[in-house]
Amino acid sequence: MTSIGLLISLAGILYGAAPIMFGVIGETITERAGIINLSMNGTILLSAMVGFAVAYGTGSLLLGFLAGALIGGLVALVVAFSSIALKQSQVAVGFVLAVLCLNLSYFLGHAYISKNGPSMNILPIAGLDKIPILGTLFFRQDLMTYFSFVIIFLTWFWIYRTRPGLMLRGIGERPAAAYVRGADVNRLRYIYTFLGGAIAGLAGPTFSLDVKAGWAGQLSGLDGYGWIVLSITIFGGWNPFRAAFGVYLFSFLQWLGLVLQPVLPNIPTQVLQVAPFPLMILTLLLVNIGNAEWINRMMATLPEGTRRLVARLLRALRASPPASLGVPFDSE
C-alpha cells in the first residue's frame, strides 16, 4: 500500500468513526449525570431511519440531522422519565426501548429502503488541507466528521473546565452532596440526559446520510453499533478524550480487519471486525479488577512497597463509574 493510500485509509478511519463518536460522547454525558441509556442500539437505528426519511422528504440534510438528534433526545427522555418520575429500572426501560426502537425503525423505514437520499460531501478546509499528512487526515473531511472532532473538545471542556460541568461531575458522583450545594439534581439529570441523547442521536443520521448513506433496513448493518457505543463508553472511563481514544481504536481495529483480510484468508472479515470485543471485555476486566474484594484481600498480604505499586497501577487503570450511575436520587 502506498503512503498516500495509507493516509487516505487512516483518514477513512476518522471518517468512519464519526458516528460512533457521537454515540459515545452523548452516552458519556448522560452517564456522567448518573443515568444509563441502554436504548442506544435502538436509538441509533431509529434516528438513522428518521434522519434519512426527513432528509429524503425535505431534501435538507440539516433537517435530517436535527430530526435524528430529536429522536435521540426524546428516547433518552423516556428513560429519564421512567427512572426519575416513575422509579422504574433504567436498565429495564432502556433495554425495552432498544428492542422497540429497532423494530420501529425497520417497520417504519420499510418504505425508504433502497431510496437514494441526499448525502454529505467532503468539505476540505481551504489552506489547512494542504498541510502534509495532517491536512489529508484532518482537514479533508466532511462536516460531520469535523463536528465529531470538535465535540470531543467541547465536551471535555464543558465537563472539566466549566462551573456547570463541575456540577455535572458532582451530580454523577454524589447527588446528595450536590443537592446540599443547591443543585436541582433531577432537573439537571433530565437536561443532561436529553442533551446526551440528542448528541447520540446524531450517530444514526451520520450513518444514513453520510458514512453508510441510505437506508437498507435489516441489511443496513447498523444493528449492534449501539451495544458497541455502550461498551466503549465504559472503556472510555467517562472521559471524552479516553472515550475518543476508544472509538478510534475500535475503528482502527475494524479497518485492520479489512486490511488483513487478504493476508489471513482463513479468517472471515466479520470475525476480525468483532475482534475488538474480547479486547473490550479484557479492558473492562482490568478496570474493574481493582474493585474486587479478593484483590483487596490479596493486596493486604503484600509488602508495603509492592502494595503501593500495585495500588497505583490499579488506580491508573481504573475507570470508576460516576458513583450514582443507575441509582435514582431521592432528596429525603
Partner 1 sequence: MKENQWLKIGFQLAAIVLALLFTTLVLLMAGASPLQAYLNVLEGIFSSTADITNVLAAWIPLLLTTSGVLITFAAGLWNIGIEGQIMLGAVFTTGALRLLENSSLVGGWIILLGFLAGLLGGALWGALAGVLKTFGGVNEIFGGLGLNFVATAFALYLIIGPWGRPGIASTSGTLLFPTRLWLPTPTNVALSPWALVVGILSAVLVYFLLRGTYFGLRLKAVGKNMRAAFLLGVPTWQYSMYAFLLCGAFAGLAGAVQVTAVYHRLIPTISSGYGFLGLLVAMLINYQAIWAAPIALFYAALNIGGIQLPIVMKMDSSLSGVLQGILVLFVLMVEGARQRLFEKR
Partner 2 sequence: MNVELKDIHKTFGAVHANAGISMDIPGGTIQGILGENGAGKSTLMKILSGFIRADQGEILLDGHPVSIHSPADAIRNGVGMLHQDPLDFPPLRVIDNFILGRSGGLLPGEGAALQDFKKLAGQFGFSLDPQAYVDSLTVGERQQLEILRLIWLGARVLIFDEPTTGISAQQKVKLFAALRLLAKQGMTVLFVSHKLEDVEGLCDSVVVLRQGYLVGSVKPPYDTHQLVEMMFGKEVTLGARSAGCAGEVAFSLRNLAVEDYRLHIGEINLDICHGEVIGLAGMEGSGQALFLRAVAGLVRTVGGQILRGDRDLTGRNYHFYKRGGVAFLPASRLEEGLVAGLNLTEHVILAEEATGFSINWEKGRQLAQSRITEFNIHGTPVNTVESLSGGNQQRTLLALMRVPLDLMLLEHPTRGLDIESTIYIWNKLKERCQQGTSILFVSSDLDEILQYSDRVLVFFSGRVTPPLDVSTLTTEKLGELIGGMGWPESKNEASVHERKPVA
Q: Which residues bind to partner 2, rule: CB under 8 A?
A: 161-164, 166-167, 169-170, 173-174, 176-183, 297, 308, 311-312, 315, 320, 323
User: How far is the C-alpha of 130 from the C-alpha of 141, rounded, in Å?
Assistant: 13
The number of C-alpha atoms within 13 Å of 50 and in the hemisphere containing its C-beta is 24
Element (H or E) spanning 47, and its range? helix 40-58
Q: Does 316 bind partner 1 (CB under 8 A)?
A: no
Backbone angles phi, psi at 125, to 5 degrees: -85, 115
C-beta atoms surrounding 58 within 10 Å:
13
User: How far is the C-alpha of 210 from the C-alpha of 144, rounded, in Å?
Assistant: 8
Q: Does 8 bind partner 1 (CB under 8 A)?
A: no
Least gap, CB of 182 to partner 2 (angstroms): 4
User: How far is the C-alpha of 49 from the C-alpha of 17, rounded, in Å?
Assistant: 19
Q: Are 148 and 21 a contacting pair, CB within 8 Å? A: yes
C-beta atoms surrounding 256 within 10 Å:
15
Q: Does 119 bind partner 1 (CB under 8 A)?
A: no
DSSP letter assigned to residue 88: -
- Interacting residues with partner 1 between 173 and 232 (CB under 8 A): 217-218, 224, 227, 230-231
User: How far is the C-alpha of 35 from the C-alpha of 190, rounded, in Å?
Assistant: 9
- Interacting residues with partner 1 between 17 and 46 (CB under 8 A): 38
Binding mask 128-167 vs partner 1 (x if CB under 8 A, - otherwise)? ----------------------------------------
Binding partner selected for residue 88 from partner 1, partner 2, none, CB under the kind-specific 5 to 8 Å limit: partner 1
Q: Does 260 bind partner 1 (CB under 8 A)?
A: no
Binding partner selected for residue 63 from partner 2, partner 1, none, CB under the kind-specific 5 to 8 Å limit: none
Catalog residues that contact partner 1 under the rule CB under 8 A: 38, 78, 82, 85-88, 91-93, 95-97, 99-104, 106-111, 217-218, 224, 227, 230-231, 234, 266-268, 270-271, 273-275, 277-278, 280-281, 284-285, 288-289, 291-292, 294
